[in-house]
Structure 1
Amino acid sequence: MDNYAIFIALFIVSWTCFLWIRSRGRKLAKLPPGPRPLPIVGNMLQLGNKPHQTFAQLSKKYGPLMSIHLGSVYTVIVSSPEMAKEVMLKFGGSFSSRHIAQAVHACDHDKISMGFLPVATTKWRDMRKICKEQMFANHSMEGSQGLRQEKLQQLLDYVQKCSETGKAVDIREAGFITTLNLMSATLFSFQATGFESKTTQEFKEIIEGVATIVGVPNFADYFPILKPFDPQGVMRRAESYFGQLLDKIDSYLVERLESRKTNPNAPKKTDLLETLIDISQGSEYQITNDDIKHLLLDLFVGGSETNTTSIEWIMSELLLNPDKQAKLREELKSVVGEGKEVRESDVARLPYLQAVIKEVMRYHPPGPLLLPRAAVTDQEVGGYLIPKGAQILTNVWAMGRDPSIWENPESFEPERFLDKRIDFKGQDFELIPFGAGRRICPGMPLANRILHMTTATLIHNFNWKLQVEDGDADHNAELFGLAVRRAVPLRAIPFKC
């Protein structure tokens, strides 16, 4: 009897193993295609220093849904609007989690930041609702536009000074200072730095430090066994950069709370910090000071880095295409008036300006692979199985240069958007530089205003020409990171029209 029981048990175990192996085999057979991985390292050696371009080439062979192995991390690359819509919209619930880099764990940012919290949590839903309905609603943006107008006037004054002396403007530096001040004005009602100010370098080092350390390839992310050892010092540096920026934001928060306490009847400021404090002291939402600080860190870093990068690409394309620059300037003069100040309310009447911004978002998306997502369940997409735990990268750079989507994709042609009702607000999946679905960038309304207004300010009253020694530079060379910037800094000389 005992032998019979043992036989039955062995039969059941064997049959279960057979069914599991057969099921596993079927799953493996349905995985998205991709290049054969090497032992241990997978496909990492194939990526080079511009992975978004490598993925674009591989997708031509393996299709718009392909898979690679980055060390032990199984990764699916999405390279078409159709597949992006499936992943972000149709099956958005299955792919709403984040694949979180080790650096993001610094200062417990991954546990507090809305950008990395699970979407199923009450905290995430509350923060998302606050961003959409209060912080970045039209009435809030309109309330703080006077603060931004003041910072744009400072940019105009600086360019005027350079024009009078014949000095070349470092566009990235000017864009960084302006973006930083536009962000700090909108968030905190103060000026973070100034042109030719010593504080600029301090802010730049901290903000670029956070952006760089999050985007830098980290072996511990691909080989988890290395995480306790931090072989590249990523966590050590991340703790330092995140800590410095959080300390600065904390000082702004404490100062504002003290001011409200000592002057309760003083007029309230119109910035986003004031909005967040009002919400935190109300009864509708349960948000803490830590929630406020980490949200503002996300906005400060994400907005500064991506907007600065985009401004440099916008100006680069307009300088390399003087006919487009002239056409934009003519529209500004016609609609706004020569010598008059461009206002945010003017943007709706400037279709060519809008087209220029869209074209740069297509041609030079600031985050070419967006922030990584992770599959929370097994999910079939396009006839292939994306397994639970897989990292999902969406190659918006490849979609922007796909000839099956865009005519003459390697040409800078803003005119293509004048007759097309396409926008980058998450509904048209051929153009999603800010993402789409539940994880769309919450700061997009502010970024939209900053990009349009900074571009208009730089072009409205000045002509631009490349600095002579930069004339032979490779102006399309890219430097990969959290945002893909120009490899060669853009320097240009402004002169009066």
Structure 2
Amino acid sequence: MFLSHILALGIPCVIALVAALRLTRRRIYPLPLPPGPRPLPFFGNALELDTKQPWLTYTAWGKIYGKIIHSNILGTDYIIINSATIARELVDKRSAIYSDRPVIRANELSGMDFNTVLLPYGETLRRHRKIFHQVLKAEASLSYYEMYSRHANGLVITLLDSTNDLREHIQAYAASLITAVTYGHAAQGNNYPFLARVNELIEIGKQILSPESAAIFTAFPFLEKLPTWCFGGAFALMGRTRKLSQQLLNEPFNEVKVQMANGTAPRSLVADFLNQADGNADEDTMKAVALMAYIGGIETITSALQTFLLAMVLYPDVQARARAEIDQVVRHNKMPCLDDRPSLPYLGAVLHEVLRWYPPAPLGMAYATLSDDVYGGYFIPEGATVIVNQWALSRDEDLFPDASRFDPSRHLTADGQLKDHFVNHTAFGFGRRICPGRWFAENILWTAAAAVLAVLRVDHAKDSNGDRIEVKPEYTTGMSIHPKPFRCSFESVNAAREGQLRAMMNVK
């Protein structure tokens, strides 16, 4: 992690002394801050963090200090929220205060200041979200129905015929579909150069854009003035991201423009935008929106679908119940479609549980307060970094007893209906910064999960001796997480549907 790398560098004593003097000039607050661990001079609570999985530290602190806690990282105030109720009270109901983002200088220094997620609250953000709303609102997202179905059907055949890495196939599916919807052309599997560059950008971003890493530049603003050789590869990565960002912003967008000029452009978010725009179209904003839709979509969808398949292996009873629901509602020789969604509440509950069981972004995205606030008698200062700990929300035993168990029934009423809409899931965030692509994500995830369950049985793989290979829910670390590689097997359980898919995909 970027933070642990910097802390291990042994910054000269003179720098530490200057920073320590700066940290001693603290503002006097009119009310007590939320309870939290006692900070050390200079470092605050930085040395107590699990830098690979900070959400575990924040969750452990919550068990000691309560649902809202205060910590200090190198002089920056952090307010950690470990309760969905408090998150809705503050970030939803007081969104005028909780709609900014922390200043993450690494985002700007690395050429990623186009990143919608990290934009400060203001006019540029409003332009981004206006376009997101136009192209990814509920009605617009449904209009890509044919693309969802075609790619989900292709995923089923790929999984059935595959012996290769599961993550590779899931990511290729997500990349191909999102590229088709966003830019109108196929991703051509994991060999697509655009995907390789996006993956590289995402991996670097995970290292340098966390709020904990951002505290480094807040505490030591002069660091950005020093030569990169002082800090090794961590800072040198920023030059690479600047180059990648420009390539990814411009090349696929310009390709769509060329296709439109030639009259060969298929339908896509970018093509729809350019068709509807007048001569004053804000192309720079659309480039950023298109790329962020791609980056955000591929990370979230790949993680969630891997978690879905992991859960189906580990909980065959859940898998059997979801398949039985599909077979009861959908004709034996027909594939489920989005029109069937209201009649398949248990499948909807499965997807709710996927996002709860292992939220793709365990800490979500940090907020920053635009003014002072008071909650429960505690003072929340202007400029504080506010983190809604998705991991703690997902492991709240008061709401989710035996929280480590995958149980979709948590999300059903007594009469078997969904308690809430998928797009209201806490994993999509809160308030004015809630994920604008949540309808798009729901349609992609639902279509893929329905297609897999309608045709395939997901089971443990077997070794060369025929013995079952055990699987454990182990995850990567970082701002977004994925299941670590695991093996499973796929068996067709509906020959009629499989044959229909192979005929449609023109494969044997």
TM-score normalised to the size of structure 2? 0.82
CA contact (8 A) 1:181 1:192 kept: yes
The equivalent of 1:440 in structure 2 is 434
In the TM superposition, what whole-angstrom CA distance separates every residue of 1:193-221 from its partner, at most 9, and x where no partner exists? Answer: 227x4759725643543543445663734
The equivalent of 1:13 in structure 2 is none
Match of 1:66 among 46, 69, 72: 69
Cα distance in 2, alignment partners of residues 142 and 77 from structure 1: 36
1:106 positional shift: 4.4
**What are the equivalent positions in structure 2 for 1:70-109 lying under 5 Å apart?**
70-106=73-109, 108-109=111-112
1:236 positional shift: 3.5
CA 1:82–1:418 in structure 2 vs 1: closer, same or farther (change >3 Å)? closer
**Rg larger in structure:** 1
In the TM superposition, what whole-angstrom CA distance separates every residue of 1:318-376 from its partner, at most 9, and x where no partner exists? Answer: 11001111111122222223343332322232111100000111121111111111112
Which blocks of at least 5 consecutive residues in structure 2 are unaligned? Answer: 1-25, 494-508
CA 1:224–1:466 in structure 2 vs 1: closer, same or farther (change >3 Å)? farther
One-letter identity of the residue aligned with 1:120 = G
CA contact (8 A) 2:184 2:256 kept: no
CA contact (8 A) 1:86 1:92 kept: no
The equivalent of 1:367 in structure 2 is 361
One-letter identity of the residue aligned with 2:85 = E
Partner SS state of residue 426, structure 2: coil
The equivalent of 1:125 in structure 2 is 126
Quick check: 475-484 or 60-69, which moved more? 475-484
CA contact (8 A) 2:92 2:430 kept: yes
Partner SS state of residue 495, structure 1: strand
Cα distance in 2, alignment partners of residues 453 and 249 from structure 1: 29
CA contact (8 A) 2:76 2:385 kept: yes
Quick check: 360-369 or 432-441, which moved more? 360-369
Match of 2:46 among 44, 47, 66: 44
Cα distance in 1, alignment partners of residues 234 and 104 from structure 2: 10
CA contact (8 A) 1:176 1:304 kept: yes
Q: Report whether the alignment pairs 1:477 with 2:478.
A: no
The equivalent of 2:270 in structure 1 is 273
The equivalent of 2:503 in structure 1 is none
Cα distance in 1, alignment partners of residues 146 and 382 from structure 2: 47
Q: Report whether the alignment pairs 1:336 with 2:338.
A: no
Match of 1:422 among 420, 423, 440: 420
The equivalent of 2:505 in structure 1 is none
Q: CA RMSD in A?
A: 2.7
CA 1:40–1:478 in structure 2 vs 1: closer, same or farther (change >3 Å)? farther
One-letter identity of the residue aligned with 1:338 = H
Partner SS state of residue 35, structure 1: coil
In the TM superposition, what whole-angstrom CA distance separates every residue of 1:136-157 from its partner, at most 9, and x where no partner exists? Answer: 1344223322223222232122
CA 1:239–1:100 in structure 2 vs 1: closer, same or farther (change >3 Å)? farther
Cα distance in 1, alignment partners of residues 119 and 41 from structure 2: 33
Which blocks of at least 5 consecutive residues in structure 1 are unaligned? Answer: 1-22
Match of 1:399 among 393, 399, 409: 393
1:255 positional shift: 2.4
CA 1:437–1:26 in structure 2 vs 1: closer, same or farther (change >3 Å)? closer
The equivalent of 1:146 in structure 2 is 146
Cα distance in 1, alignment partners of residues 471 and 225 from structure 2: 41
The equivalent of 1:294 in structure 2 is 288
The equivalent of 1:170 in structure 2 is 165
Cα distance in 2, alignment partners of residues 478 and 41 from structure 1: 29
The equivalent of 1:494 in structure 2 is 490
The equivalent of 2:320 in structure 1 is 326
Cα distance in 2, alignment partners of residues 491 and 372 from structure 1: 34
Cα distance in 2, alignment partners of residues 247 and 50 from structure 1: 31
Q: Report whether the alignment pairs 1:348 with 2:342.
A: yes
One-letter identity of the residue aligned with 1:256 = V
How many residue pairs were aligned?
455
Cα distance in 2, alignment partners of residues 364 and 99 from structure 1: 25
Cα distance in 1, alignment partners of residues 461 and 255 from structure 2: 44
1:443 positional shift: 1.1
TM-score normalised to the size of structure 1? 0.84
In the TM superposition, what whole-angstrom CA distance separates every residue of 1:275-304 from its partner, at most 9, and x where no partner exists? Answer: 222344366xxx522211211221111111
Identical positions, percent: 26
The equivalent of 1:15 in structure 2 is none
The equivalent of 2:156 in structure 1 is 156
The equivalent of 2:448 in structure 1 is 454
The equivalent of 2:461 in structure 1 is 467
1:442 positional shift: 1.0
1:471 positional shift: 6.0
Quick check: 97-106 or 384-393, which moved more? 97-106
Cα distance in 1, alignment partners of residues 304 and 387 from structure 2: 21
